[in-house]
A and B are shown apart, each in its own frame.
Chain A
Amino acid sequence: MTPLKKRQTVTGYLFSLPWIAYFLVFMLYPLILAFKISFQKVSVTQPHKAEFVGFGNWVKVAADPVFWKSVFNVIYNQSIFISLLFVISLGLALLLKEVTKGGAIFRTLYFLPVITSVTVAIAVFIVLLGVNGPVQQLLVSIGILDKPTDWMITKWWAMPIVAIFNSWKWFAIQMIIFLGGLMTINPEIYEAAEIDGAGWWQRFWNVTIPQLKPQIVFVSTMNIINGMQMFTESLMFFGSSGGPYKAGMTPVLYLYKTGFNDMDMGYASSIGLFLMLIIVVLTTVQWKIMNRNETKA
């Protein structure tokens, strides 16, 4: 080995040391511990009284209606959120592209919800969207709603409302990503389409959407991974029980409630590992689809 190579090897390991330590202590070891705990019946306060229960917890998760309800809830939430976010952010990006003066002011303003904490924003939204809140009053006065409802305790409205809230909170990020994508589209493609007699809708459908494909794939990947881990929104809106019909329950909230309210760590660990499995499968499937699209394009 040359001295330079030797020196690089030593510094290489030295500089990687923080990650190696972090990975071993905060990821690998807890992961092994989670596996161990998931085969036990053990309480947070009495860890020494652990009792081996075999696959008991795993079988229980697979058959637990609340767990599957919580998985359904995040999928329900994400379907609405992703569609809504797509329409809002692409719509505003298209408008902002047309604007020459004042665009920066709008962009700055639209970014405010992104930097606000979820905790604070939800505290405000609970009042604004409440039974006596201005939003429901407005909807009643223009005839969209018959009468104000306490949607937090309804069977189906919990997740759509959270999706609307999250769209308000996060649309700016996706809008800027789309705007960046729109700016790179060659205007000649639009001109050619216009000469061919394509109307606005046809140009949008046949030029804009295909050209934005990389951005669309990117944001949908981000949305799915984040969406499966939704926690703070549900805890703030519905409390750790997830509301009367479990309409606001999410897998991570269920894990939190099981482990720290019901003190059943073994079962909570199984929920966590089960959910991780679902996320890994989903991400792999998505990568497969993405790669297929890339080879096509």
Chain B
Amino acid sequence: MTRKQKSKVLVYLVLALCSIVVAYPFVFMLLNSFKTGQDIINSPYGLPHVWTVQGYVKVIQELNLGVMFKNSIIIALSVTGLNVGLNAMVAYAMSKLEFPGRGLLFSVIVGSMMVPVVLLMIPTYSMYYNWGWINNFIVVILPAGLSAYNIFLVRQFMITIPNELLEASRLDGSGEFRTFWSIVLPLSMPVLSTVAILAFMGSWNDLINPLLYLEDRSKFTLQLGIYSIRTEIPGQNVDQLWAGLAITTVPVAIVFFFLQRYFVRAFTGIGLK
């Protein structure tokens, strides 16, 4: 073997080793989710002695994980829809419409990115409490429906759409809303897919907001369910815990494998400049 070939083998070896470190927790989780409770406690690190889906059945029947799954889907999809629609609207105003005060408004949007909303959880809690929003899905949907960061992303993209296209549409007699709907929105699909992925993942994986505002078990999201299984009954129902972890992770992972190009672009911001 030449020196070059040797170094290539070494490169693959390191990459493969890192793959094991990355993948092992997932394999471990999946294997445990197919074990009996006894098996998990006695030999957590081996293969299942008996393969069983008991954990899945129990977690869905007894802990209502199916309801939590449904809740998570409803919330995450609503947040995604609001984010795509509303951020696109505001970004359109910020990039393609001329009106007095636009500059000021845009500085407020950019400046607000510095305010960590999570630090306002005390006043927002008492607000939502007074409005009767506690235990209502609206509390985890509406405040997450817009984001300064996403407006900024979409605006940067919309700026690159040639004005001639919009003017042609306006000359054809289309109103601003029609121009937005039939010209700007379709052209902005790449950046809107990024917004959709970031919004969906943010909502699906959110723990702090459901933890604060959703107290009723029938309103729990998957993340909150996992958190409460872990804290309420330590040591017990381990089979349900592992099945629950798998149910929370696998659907997102499957979507990721199909749309990985979009996911990678969404999280790294590459291809947006």
Contact = CB atoms under 8 A, between A and B. Distances in A.
Given A18-B146, A111-B264, A127-B28, 19 more contacts: A8-B97, A11-B176, A22-B86, A22-B146, A27-B117, A29-B123, A30-B127, A31-B123, A102-B12, A111-B256, A118-B205, A128-B25, A255-B122, A256-B121, A259-B125, A260-B212, A272-B119, A272-B120, A283-B114
Contact of B122 (A125, A128, A265, A280): A265
Interface residues of B, number: 84
Given A127-B44, A283-B114, A19 B146 contact: yes
Interface of B: 7-8, 11-12, 14-15, 18-19, 21-26, 28-29, 44-45, 86, 89-90, 92-94, 97-100, 102, 105, 108-109, 112, 114-127, 129-130, 143, 145-146, 151, 170, 175-177, 180, 201, 204-205, 207-208, 212, 223, 226-227, 230-231, 241, 245, 248-249, 252-253, 256-257, 260, 263-264, 267-270
Contacts of A106: 15, 18-19
B125 A176 contact: no
Nearest to A259: B122
Contacts of B117: 26-27
B77 to A, nearest CB: 17
A112 B248 contact: no
Pairs A-B, 7 closest by C-beta atoms: A12-B99, A33-B123, A15-B93, A117-B205, A272-B119, A11-B176, A12-B97
The B interface, classified by DSSP as helix, strand, loop or mixed, is: helix
Contacts of A168: 21-22
30 contacts: A7-B176, A12-B97, A15-B90, A15-B93, A18-B86, A19-B90, A23-B108, A23-B109, A23-B112, A33-B127, A47-B129, A92-B15, A109-B22, A109-B23, A112-B253, A115-B256, A116-B252, A117-B207, A120-B248, A123-B230, A176-B268, A236-B227, A255-B119, A259-B121, A259-B122, A259-B125, A260-B212, A273-B119, A276-B115, A279-B114
Contact of A16 (B90, B129, B263): B90
A113 B22 contact: yes
Central interface residue in A112, A132, A269, by most chain B CB within 10 Å: A112
B119 A119 contact: no
Nearest to B179: A11
Contacts of A125: 25
B15 A115 contact: no
B207 A232 contact: yes
B99 to A, nearest CB: 3
Contacts of B130: 47
A22 B115 CA distance: 14
A124 B245 contact: yes
Contact of B268 (A108, A180, A235): A180
Interface of A: 4-5, 7-9, 11-13, 15-16, 18-20, 22-23, 26-27, 29-31, 33-34, 37, 44, 47, 92, 95-96, 98-99, 102, 106-121, 123-125, 127-128, 132, 134, 168, 173, 176-177, 180, 225, 228-229, 231-232, 235-236, 239, 252, 255-256, 259-260, 265, 268-269, 272-273, 275-276, 279-280, 283
